[in-house]
Structure 1
Amino acid sequence: MCVSNVRLAADAYLVCLHHALTTEKEEVLGLLVGEFSEGTEVVCDIHSAVTLRRSDKRKDRVEISPEMLIEAQQRAEQMSASSGQELHIVGWYHSHPHITVWPSDIDLQTQAGYQQMDSRFIGLIFSVYNEDKKTKVGSHQVTCFQATNQSPEGEAPQYVRLAVPLEIRLTPSLAINNQQALENLCSTLYDEQSEVLQLSRQRANQYPLAHLHNSAVMVRSVCGLSSLVSGPLVSTVEERLHHIQGTTQQLKQESKYLRNLLQENKIDVPT
């Protein structure tokens, strides 16, 4: 069953885009948590994004292992318990740094595989680090898609992109699940780098210069995490704190006004 419309929460969109911008050399990936509403049409509401660690870094493809699917499903169950909503894994996202936003043949095959498990499963692609050659202005794009087989029955499948309308739904603040996803992004990227360094350390006696180089790359990567992830995350938390303080002050003023109004009308005010 094809999905007619996808509504992506703005803070979940922020997580996906932030993750995509952490590297311009390889693709990154994650899963999407939300719910389906079925009536005359199927609508997908995405509430949260789950960032995943890459077991294999490549420029042109990403893969989700069964272990990562299980881990993401467990997170979805935790979100369901805390929110009171029945949430599931409804899709996946990945990045296309420096290339078009449209899905590749491999992306379409991957998407078709997910749809065999759930025909409503959707995919998002974030094309980042694009620059207009004339204006030198950077930009990014996002597309939502499913895969459909256009080959006649009995022949080898040939998948094509089925565009799905995507709407970014405004959210008043950063939901706790998406805030945690941003916080976990640092540790996810650090673990990726640590795995590479661990392999290098095992061969340090045989290739000492290579290990020295990899150690330097690790230090540079960790420093880069501060500017790419930690810095913006701190700014986001500060903005949220400012919003909460403003809302609190507004509620105090409203409470004071209502109390004065009740006193003027000689109505007892509870303490």
Structure 2
Amino acid sequence: MMAYLKKVCLSAEIYAVCLSHALSTEKEEVMGLLIGKVDEETHTSYITACRILARSDKQPDRVEISPEQLMEAVTYAEEVSKQLNDNLRVLGWYHSHPHITVSPSHVDLKTQAMYQNMDKHFVGIIFSVFSSSTSNRSKCNDIQVTCFQTNTRLNNQFSRLEICLEIIPTSSIDACSVALQSLATLPEILSKEEQEIRSNESTQFDELTKLHNNALQTLQFVNITDKVSRPLVDHLENEIRTLTQQIKLLKQERD
């Protein structure tokens, strides 16, 4: 199985959404699906939307996409296609590697190979976050991104085929709106994940344990508000100001 794609063009707004999702937690991996279209002549994939996925099981080194989530993303792609007046479909997946290298693991390569069997255009993107470069004395967060497909050799040996990734300007205001709508769902998804964890806990706990667990859940909700919701509101307010100014300039140019 060889790579079909030569390049992936990821819109700047969707890159920001994926990176914000990756930075929402440094303890477990997060994931989502990428939506766009393929230029058959140039073998280039254009990613213009994404679907943030909730995790049914939080793991520090593994993520899984259920068939139900994949079908929901297909339906979402159809909705976005109508909104942008374009023919879009699910074309890839992204996930985070907190505190580890950006290179895909053997499990990542195997998962990618499975998706490529269904669609040769399918691509994977990994965001390595919360890692400090050994050469960086300031201990600043070192963010790395890789885009890949899987090459299947004899005896089911997998190897990575790196695909050129280019961040491009968002094509339209409508596409920017779709990206912002996806980003706005992040706090709700993180909150639902916490609620699912508590709902699956044993009901046989004593009162002190229940009180402790409720306090931890409240602390998590506070962290989501402080680390995700509040910066998101600030970002959206800045976007409103920027878009308002752009609209004003366009009206002046039209007149």
Could you tell me the TM-score, scaled by structure 2's length? 0.92
Equivalent position amino acid for 1:144 in 2:
C
Distance in 1 (alpha carbons) for counterparts of 2:74 and 2:250? 38
Distance in 2 (alpha carbons) for counterparts of 1:69 and 1:245? 35
Equivalence for 1:101: 102
Equivalent position amino acid for 1:147 in 2:
T
Give 1:167-186 correspondences, 5 Å limit.
167-171=166-170, 175-186=176-187
Equivalence for 2:226: 227
Distance in 2 (alpha carbons) for counterparts of 1:251 and 1:14? 25
Equivalence for 1:213: 212
Q: 1:252 offset after TM fit, Å? A: 5.1
Equivalence for 1:44: 45
Equivalence for 1:147: 150
Deviates more, 1:85-94 or 1:246-255: 246-255
Does residue 76 (structure 1) correspond to residue 67 (structure 2)? The answer is: no
Q: 1:19 offset after TM fit, Å? A: 0.4
C-alpha deviations, 1:70-100, integer Å up to 9, x for none?
1111100000111110000000000000000
Q: 1:223 offset after TM fit, Å? A: 0.8
Give 1:244-259 correspondences, 5 Å limit.
244-251=243-250, 253-254=252-253
Distance in 2 (alpha carbons) for counterparts of 1:194 and 1:137? 33
Distance in 2 (alpha carbons) for counterparts of 1:227 and 1:83? 33
Q: 1:170 offset after TM fit, Å? A: 1.9
- RMSD, aligned CA: 1.7
Equivalence for 1:267: none
Equivalent position amino acid for 1:70 in 2:
M
Equivalence for 1:261: none
User: Runs of 5+ in structure 2 lacking a partner?
Assistant: none
Distance in 2 (alpha carbons) for counterparts of 1:223 and 1:182? 19
Structure number with higher relative contact order (C-alpha < 8 Å, ≥ 6 residues apart): 2
CA separation of 1:66 and 1:164: change in aligned 2, threshold 3 A: same
Equivalence for 1:262: none
C-alpha deviations, 1:154-177, integer Å up to 9, x for none?
xx3010100000000122767121
Equivalent position amino acid for 1:35 in 2:
K
Equivalence for 1:120: 121
Q: 1:210 offset after TM fit, Å? A: 3.2
Q: Which has the larger radius of gyration?
A: 1
Distance in 1 (alpha carbons) for counterparts of 2:228 and 2:145? 20
Distance in 2 (alpha carbons) for counterparts of 1:162 and 1:207? 52
Distance in 2 (alpha carbons) for counterparts of 1:199 and 1:223? 21
Percentage of matched positions with identical amino acids: 42
CA separation of 1:164 and 1:254: change in aligned 2, threshold 3 A: closer
User: Runs of 5+ in structure 1 lacking a partner?
Assistant: 259-271
C-alpha deviations, 1:33-62, integer Å up to 9, x for none?
0001101x4110000111000011111110
Could you tell me the TM-score, scaled by structure 1's length? 0.87
Distance in 1 (alpha carbons) for counterparts of 2:51 and 2:148? 19
Equivalence for 2:19: 17
Equivalent position amino acid for 1:185 in 2:
L
Distance in 2 (alpha carbons) for counterparts of 1:250 and 1:37? 33
